[in-house]
Amino acid sequence: MLSETNFTSNINLTTLPPGGGGRGGGCPPVGIQLEGVILPPVLTIDVVLGLLGNMVALWIFWFKLKTWNPNTLFLFNLVIADFMALVSLPLRIDALLRGHWVFGDGLCRVNLFLMFSNRSASIALMTVVAIYRYFKVVHPHHRFNRMTKRQAAVVSVFVWMLVISPRVPMLAYNHIKGSGDRTQCFFFTSYKEASRAIIILVGMHRILTVLEFILPMAMLLFCSVRISSFLRGRQMGKPNKVRKAMRMCAAIVAVFMVCFLPTTVTTIGVWVIRSYRPWDCSAFYTFTQLTIVSLGLNFLNSALDPVVYVFSSSMFRKALVEALPCGGCCRRDAVEDSKSSSGAQTTTQQELKSMRSDRGSEDM
């Protein structure tokens, strides 16, 4: 998710006199120095960890899983969403290191589209995974649990259409600003230089950024609380099942809070300042810097999503363990330990039976 101040070092904003200004005013640009220092290493870490984790996940999904279920299909779509960000981030890192954009208008539009769509798709798909687990645990006889792989594919396509359609207009406009070695690729711009269409698009983006976090977060918390209370209230006698279900919900909620909450808060902050306090440059600079920091966390979701796969799918977890170098050894050791323990238990039971028969014969 990108903020209003992202990659905008060349925006020309008018400096207001002390205490003056109005809704049409603005503050001097913060500059690209802080962005250029903080974001490249953070985004590079996101790309490296994300590529490693998602390539392993893609390999397991494609070559190691013998059968797929709806949950697996939803997680596979989450891998695709992560690659959308991982493909686009290297261009952004290059632009930050150079100090300007050199890839032209077409790649600029595609780059911004992929970066925005990744956030929306990741949030939507993780929410679907949590809802699927909720019905499996709390409403095991609901027809939702009889979903076929074909139906899950239809749900996935619907989710993609839902999250991509609001971002498609972004591809229709030129987002290149400046010229020569001062060219920048960014979505947001000063209202003084923006067309009415861009202003409407920016406003729609701000609304989506807030709603696509708040509504799914409320659903995730609801699913987590209901799963926990249901399993504990039924006293099902399977604490491992309770822990597994809660670990899945906790993993998704943690990714939401760490990766998406900061960008949502800073977006609201910039929105409020630009709308109601355009003369408050100090607050504007503060939220600008917080936005810059939150960008690195936002794309960290691509690196953390493999953790969600592990907690959300026992099939994925089993395939991952078997794929590890010591997976087969560990599994054989576990089987041998199980056999030896069962054998020892059988021997003990036979000895007890023999002792009881000896005691019976002695009493007779």
Averaged pLDDT, 237-261: 77
Segment 57-75, tens digit of pLDDT: 999 988 888 888 899 999 9
- Asked if the structure places residue 214 within a domain, the reply is yes
Q: Show Cβ contacts of residue 50 under 8 Å, excluding neighbours closer than 6 positions.
A: 82, 85, 86, 299, 302, 303
Assign 121 a pLDDT band (cuts: 50, 70, 90): very high
The total domain count for the chain is 1
Percent of the chain with pLDDT over 70: 74
Averaged pLDDT, 257-276: 86
- Asked if the structure places residue 171 within a domain, the reply is yes
| Per-chain mean pLDDT for the chain | 75
CB burial string 240-251: b at 16+ within 10 A, e below: eebebbbebbeb
Structure tokens that stand for 196 in this block: 């009415």
pTM for this entry:
0.76
The Cα 166–Cα 162 span in angstroms is 8
Query: Three-state DSSP class for 143?
Result: helix
- Asked if the structure places residue 14 within a domain, the reply is no
Rg (CA), the chain: 27
The Cα 95–Cα 99 span in angstroms is 6
Q: Give the dihedral sign, CA 261/264/269/272.
A: negative
Segment 147-192, tens digit of pLDDT: 999 999 999 999 999 999 988 888 888 778 777 777 878 765 444 4
User: Where are any strands of DSSP class E within 163-304?
Assistant: 176-177, 184-185
The Cα 350–Cα 274 span in angstroms is 81
pLDDT at 289 over 80: no
Assign 19 a pLDDT band (cuts: 50, 70, 90): very low
Q: Which residues pair with 184 in a beta bridge?
A: 177
Q: Show Cβ contacts of residue 128 under 8 Å, excluding neighbours closer than 6 positions.
A: 74, 155, 159
Other CB atoms within 10 Å distance of the CB of residue 329: 10
Q: Give 257 or 270, the one with higher predicted confidence.
A: 257
Assign 355 a pLDDT band (cuts: 50, 70, 90): very low
Structure tokens that stand for 213 in this block: 């976090």
pLDDT at residue 343, rounded to an integer: 45
pLDDT at residue 124, rounded to an integer: 93
Assign 284 a pLDDT band (cuts: 50, 70, 90): confident
The Cα 184–Cα 179 span in angstroms is 8
pLDDT at 14 over 70: no
Structure tokens that stand for 306 in this block: 């493999």
Amino acid identity, residue 70? P
- Structural domain of 304: 33-312
Segment 132-155, tens digit of pLDDT: 988 888 888 888 888 999 999 999
- Asked if the structure places residue 132 within a domain, the reply is yes
Closest C-alpha to 93, from 185, 21, 15, 17 = 185
Q: Show Cβ contacts of residue 143 under 8 Å, excluding neighbours closer than 6 positions.
A: none
Assign 15 a pLDDT band (cuts: 50, 70, 90): very low
Q: Which of 83-87, 91-95, 243-247 has the lowest mean pLDDT?
A: 243-247
Q: Which CATH number fits the domain that encloses residue 205?
A: 1.20.1070.10
Tell me if 297 sits within 8 A of 263, measured CB to CB: yes
